[in-house]
Structure 1
Amino acid sequence: MKTINKIILISLMLLVTGVVIVSCSSTKDKYTAVTDVEDEFKIEKSGAQLWGETCNRCHLAPSPADYNDTDWETISLHMRVRANLTEKESSKILEFLKSAN
């Protein structure tokens, strides 16, 4: 009789463990799906917006006319590291600065 109770107990424990594992993995998929939807509808900022917000955080942003295209390329590489910008953000800012000078 004790052997049957142990078998039933072990079976129930395995069943509960399986349910917990399945529910955790499906919850992760739900959150991933929500994140994907949010990313899909995220509005991207323009180079001008990024330039205004990012550069003015630490110093007065220089006018785009202050430097030529070659200078802006060098400055953007330096500031990408200093301001912790992504490549995409840095490229947008550089494109804006080149187009505005």
Structure 2
Amino acid sequence: MKTIHKIVLVSLMLFVAGGIIVSCSSTKDKYTSVTNVEEEFKIEKSGAQLWGEACNRCHLAPSPADYNDTDWETISLHMRVRANLTEKEITKIEAFLKSAN
């Protein structure tokens, strides 16, 4: 009789432990999906906004009309590294700066 009680008790413990593991993994999936939704609905900043924020962080930002397109390409490459900007950010900033010429 004691053996049957032990088997039932162990089975019950494994069942409960399995439910906890499933519960934790589904919570993780819910958190991941919430994070994905937040990323999906992030408001994208324009090149002008990024230029104003990134360039004025360290120095007075020059007027977009101060340089020609070739100069802005060179400056953008240099400042991307210095300001730790992403490719997407620097592309938007460069397009904004070139639009003034």
Shared fold, TM over 0.5: yes
Match of 2:38 in 1: 38
Q: How does 1:1-80 map to 2 (within 5 A)?
A: 1-80=1-80
Total equivalences in the alignment: 101
Which ranges in structure 1 are unaligned for 5 or more consecutive residues? Answer: none
Q: TM-score, normalised by structure 1?
A: 0.87
Q: CA deviation at 1:100?
A: 1.4
Counterpart of 1:56, as a letter, is N
Question: What is the RMSD computed on CA atoms of the aligned residues?
Answer: 1.5
Match of 1:94 in 2: 94
Q: CA deviation at 1:81?
A: 1.8
- Once residues 57 and 74 of structure 2 are traced to their aligned partners in structure 1, the CA distance between those partners, rounded to angstroms, is 20
Q: CA deviation at 1:15?
A: 1.2
Deviating more after overlay: 15-24 vs 28-37: 28-37
Report SS of the residue matched to 2:57: helix
Q: TM-score, normalised by structure 2?
A: 0.87
CA displacement, residues 30-55 of structure 1 (integer Å, 9 cap, x when unaligned): 12222222223222110000000111
Which structure 1 residue ranges, 4+ long, deviate > 3 Å from structure 2? none
CA displacement, residues 60-101 of structure 1 (integer Å, 9 cap, x when unaligned): 111112222112112112211221211111100010011113
| Percent of residue pairs identical | 85
